[in-house]
Chains A and B, each alone.
Chain A
Amino acid sequence: MFVLSFLVRRLAQGALIVFLVTLLIFTLLRVVPGDPVRLMAGGMAPEALIEQIAKDMGLRDPILVQFGRYMGGVVRGDLGQSFVRPASGASTGGSSFGDSTRGERAEVLTLIGETLPMTLQLGGLAILFALVFSFLVGIPGGLAPGRWPDRVAFYISSIFISLPNFWLGIVLAMLLSVQLGWLPAIGYGGFAYTILPAIVLAVELAPVLIRTLTGSVAGVMMEPFIAVGNVRGLSRSRIIVAHALRNASVPLLNLIGIQISGLLGGVLVVEFIFDYPGLGLLTITAVLQRDFPLIQGIAIVTSAIFVFINIAVDLIATMIDPRLEY
């Protein structure tokens, strides 16, 4: 009953958020300078033709009308078609624009559908790496506040936080891939290609997780129920595993919910460096080409993912700590 009402409430909120994000992106794209039709048709196309195409595509209608039309498609599961990319794959150059080719332009949904799983795989692996590493470093740190494991955790997170991701990406690619030949780096030809970019992302995620984990484990260890646990006859390992970690994981979960939103920036950079064919790379090219429908589609999908992840995180947190009720 509680879970159901929670889900209904949060999904309704989430739909509203996604809608607002879409509206915002949509409006912004239409007020920033740079006419996509000019880019599509190429610099040499006559003004009249551009106007004609723009009219045909509905780009000269009032923004609200355009938005209504677009949302009409979205609710039917139609995110529109790319301005630039043909269905076959590579993006078309401006000069080859011809109105007759419109039918062959790639579906935004298909483009996203091809790249999203790659990015989810990358993000998932990065979070896994980051979690395992922060547990290994953060928990001993939290259990010995002020002593050496705590300082080790502190130094590691300080070092990690000061490594720029593009630099680390390049260095790791040089070292592990070019020099040692342990891992493939550029492009994608199998699961092994995900590992190196995931490590770079994990290094970006880990410092905050380590600090939060050290802090919250140390905080929980000061709670009276931990000290009393010993007098009640519970063993130390049981107290740590069954109670301290349980309580400390709630702030960690909330943090992950926030961090994942922050992961997007890292994904853009890392996918670009490693030429990893994911959503990040798609976003970069879409922005460079002013491919409005594609940018919008990516915005909707990513904001929906954030909404889902945050709902999931909160749901798990309430299951761990029933006092929280979102």
Chain B
Amino acid sequence: MTGTPLLKVRDLSVGLETGGGIRPIISGIGFDLAPREILGIIGASGAGKTVLSRALVNWIDPPLKVTSGSVIYKSQNILDLPAQKLRTLRREIAYVGANPAGALDPTLPVGQQIVEKLRAIAPEVPHDEARKRVIDLLGAVRIPSPQMRYHEYPSQFSGGMMQRALIVDALVSNPAFLVADNVTQPLDVTVAAQVLRLMRELTTRFDTAIVFISSSLPLVSDAADQILVLAEGRVVERQVTKALVATPQHPYTRELISQIPKIWTSEAVAIDPPAQSREPIISILDATRSYRVRKRGTFASYSTVRAVRNVTFDVFPGENFGIVGESGCGKSTLMRLLSRLERPDSGHVLCDGQDIARLSGKGLLKFRRDFQLVLQDPFNSLPPRTAIGAIIEEPLKTHGIARGEQLRDRVLSVMHEVGLPGALYDELPLGLSAGQRQRVNVARAMVLEPKVLIMDETLSSLDQTEQFKLLKLFEQLQVQHGLTYVYISHDLAMVRRVCNRVAVMYLGEVVEIADNSRLFFDPGHPYTKALLSAVPTLEERRYKPEDCLLEGEPPSPIDLPPGCSFTSRCPNAFGRCHQQSPVLTARGGKDLAACFLVENTLTHAAA
């Protein structure tokens, strides 16, 4: 660290004003930020990272209150500045948050709003020049066709693109430092990797220092020069990134590092491959599902979104089957087909050998009991005014399985099993943490003693530590009840840890199915390789992002062009890929991949 620090934080404390006094949220935070440095801040969920990041830009609103300390920039404490002076400083202090979708006015074009901001903090810039600067920057963060995108509305931007637009919004005034709170959280790994790469470029290109905040250490360690560890509102450790990973000092950091799933260095999962002779418990045969959407600005024409295309695979009893892919690739549609929330347009979904589209009455009820869904969102999925016991009881009542005292006993034993204290039986879900809420969801599913649990991004909203605990729980439940799990997730590190077999989806198709270790060590599809190269990890990377990381995002699933659906992003695409689409091809054993290169190697090997 050379020269004088850009930003000095001293003894910063923020408290939460409650009826009975002030509860400290962060206390005694102090650090320096050097020019052009990237300082990473990590900590568990609720450690106070967001509060700290907001305090750095003087954005603490009641009931939160700065109780002591200073944030000194250019020898003035920005926490003391009057609003008017602070506003002129905003051009040098920028902030990007975790919610790109809500950060701009939905009724105005993105470009126009960035210009509005620039002209509000730098009125001397003429309108034409502001506009030109915004378009240049949109190009610089690799938003395709920036001229056109400038005029589009926030809802027309994908999450990744919106996050990049917000980075433009932050950088347009050439700020001295940027606070980025969890910016990659809503993004797919591939897009997150692009944003991260962008952040690193910024420090050199625009001379911007960055405070990069995240709950994922692998992610932060990819970007940051130094890392500050926050636990329960206090700085417990600060080290240069490499040193922190190699020799963590504080017990919290050590625990955190030990819980990060190893991708390349650990053994494959210890799931016994289920006996081959057994019948599949789920079998999807050539299932296809499309939606019709009205074309914008046309009179009566519709286009077809092909959300799931010709998907075929089997899941065997006792398996942990993973389905991975970027957002919009059809994972959730597939989940809805599996749980009969929707039926396929063509093809079949067989569960226990029966076509679930044909089930009705008793058969359907039994299917609903045996195949339970645990959903993504721990915050909206629980009715806020129903006691936890009653929430878990409800499926038992619907299925008419138990009543009276029996009901309560059963619920209490399930609560015990998923690690919820029995005292919560009569509580409302309001005070529960995200992890506890997810446990209630699991209990609600487990109480019916199902055979299969379908987990749609069940763990993605939880932090490392909670995820770790819940995965332990799932393992234990599997041993006790012989469950089969289907994990739908975009988190490859988690999939690596728990799934014995994995299907990779791209634009509605399954492009590869393979056993865990084959998929991670010898992927057959270029897309799988690209996903793997983007996984944040503390280990030596097996696939270099430079070689296989994708640019951009998947094309829209509307009116797909002919040929391999991956052509537009595939680093290996060749002539044939533009005309024909490859089908899933065996590449030894049960592993399949849909790429012409696989066929080539096979024919080469045969020749």
Contact = CB atoms under 8 A, between A and B. Distances in A.
Contacts of A325: 296
B603 interface: no
Contact of A227 (B61, B108, B116, B121): B61
Contacts of B120: 232-235, 238
B121 A9 contact: no
A300 B414 CA distance: 66
Interface in B86-108: 87, 90-91, 95, 97, 99, 102-108
A235 B121 CA distance: 9
A246 B90 contact: no
A242 interface: yes
Q: DSSP majority for the B interface?
A: loop
A247 B61 CA distance: 23
A225 B155 CA distance: 13
Q: Interface residue tally of chain A, by bracket?
A: 20 to 34
Interface residues of B, number: 29
A247 B104 CA distance: 12
Interface in B49-88: 57, 59, 61, 87
Pairs A-B, 10 closest by C-beta atoms:
A233-B90, A224-B102, A2-B297, A233-B121, A5-B299, A321-B107, A243-B105, A232-B117, A228-B103, A231-B95
A142 to B, nearest CB: 17
A287 B102 CA distance: 54
Contact of A231 (B59, B104, B296, B299): B59
A233 B91 contact: yes
Contacts of A246: 105, 107-108
Contact of A225 (B90, B102, B153): B102
Between A223, A232, A246, A321, the greatest number of chain B beta carbons within 10 A of the residue's beta carbon is seen for A232
Nearest to B61: A227
What does DSSP make chain A's interface, helix, strand, loop or mixed? helix
30 contacts: A1-B297, A2-B297, A5-B297, A5-B299, A9-B300, A224-B97, A224-B103, A225-B103, A225-B104, A227-B61, A228-B95, A228-B97, A232-B169, A233-B90, A233-B91, A233-B120, A233-B121, A233-B173, A234-B117, A235-B120, A243-B108, A246-B105, A246-B107, A246-B108, A247-B105, A247-B106, A250-B107, A323-B106, A323-B107, A323-B153
Give the most central of A223, A231, A243, A321: most B CB within 10 Å. A231
A224 B99 contact: yes
Contact of A5 (B87, B116, B117, B298): B298
Given A246-B108, A323-B155, 18 more contacts: A2-B297, A223-B102, A224-B99, A224-B102, A224-B103, A225-B103, A228-B95, A228-B103, A230-B59, A231-B57, A232-B120, A233-B91, A233-B117, A234-B116, A235-B87, A238-B120, A243-B108, A246-B105
A98 interface: no
Contacts of A243: 105, 108
- Interface centre among A225, A235, A242, by most chain B C-beta atoms within 10 angstroms, is A225
A230 B169 CA distance: 13
Nearest to B179: A231
A2 B99 CA distance: 31
Among B87, B104, B105, B120, the most chain A Cβ lie within 10 Å of the Cβ of B105
A322 interface: yes
A25 to B, nearest CB: 30
A223 B99 CA distance: 11
A247 B116 contact: no
A247 B107 contact: yes
A235 B90 CA distance: 11
Interface string A1-43: 1100100110000000000000000000000000000000000
B299 A8 contact: yes
Contacts of A242: 116
A10 to B, nearest CB: 12
A205 B153 CA distance: 34
Nearest to A224: B102
Interface in A228-274: 228, 230-235, 238, 242-243, 246-247, 250
Contacts of A238: 116, 120
Contacts of A250: 107
A317 to B, nearest CB: 10
Contacts of B153: 322-323
Contacts of B173: 233
Contacts of A232: 90, 95, 117, 120, 169
A193 to B, nearest CB: 40
B293 to A, nearest CB: 11
Contacts of B90: 231-233
A247 B107 CA distance: 7
B107 A322 contact: yes
Interface string B149-169: 000010100000000000001
Nearest to B99: A224
A320 interface: yes
A278 B526 CA distance: 75
Contacts of B57: 231
Contacts of A2: 296-297
A323 B106 CA distance: 8
A110 B249 CA distance: 92
A5 B300 CA distance: 9
A9 B105 contact: no
Interface in B108-124: 108, 116-117, 120-121
B114 to A, nearest CB: 9
Contacts of A227: 59, 61
Contacts of A223: 102
A325 B156 CA distance: 14
Nearest to A1: B297
Nearest to B58: A231
Nearest to A223: B102
A325 B293 CA distance: 13
Contacts of A231: 57, 59, 90, 95
Interface string A197-232: 000000000000000000000000001110110111
Nearest to A226: B105
